[in-house]
Every structure is written in C-alpha cells, then in structure tokens.
Amino acid sequence: MAYKITDECISCGACEAECPVSAISEGDGKFVIDPGKCIDCGACAGVCPVGAPVAE
C-alpha cells in the first residue's frame, strides 16, 4: 500500500528530497504522494518532522 500525506503537512519539503523514486511533489497547500510511483519504503515518514506521511 502506498503512503499518503495527511493535513498535518507543513510543506517543508523534507519528504520530497528523501523519496528514492520521486513520488512526492508539492501540491496545493501540502505535499502529495503519487500512489502509482510510491514503493512503500517509508523514507518520507522517517524524515517528516510532523509525521504527516502515513501508510494507507
């Protein structure tokens, strides 16, 4: 299952830089994860200061 970014996102960009498959991009007010690209590695969740990325 892919990760998704909750509304807790503060748009810091830490997750985008950490994603090994470039599945994360800046969306409208928060970053978003493309579920078709996400490999469920959890790297984004490990660097997020507010815990916004969660496994679906």
Structure confidence by residue, pLDDT tens digits, 7-36:
999 999 999 999 999 999 999 999 999 999
> Residue 16 is which amino acid?
E
Question: What letters, b where the CB count within 10 A reaches 16 and e where it falls short, cover 17-47?
Answer: ebbeeebbeeeeeebbbeeeebeeeebbbee
Query: Can you give the residue ranges of every domain in the chain?
Result: 3-55
Q: Radius of gyration of the chain from Cα atoms?
A: 9
* Yes or no: domain 3-55 corresponds to CATH 3.30.70.20: yes
The predicted model scores a pTM of 0.93
Does residue 1 carry a pLDDT above 90?
no
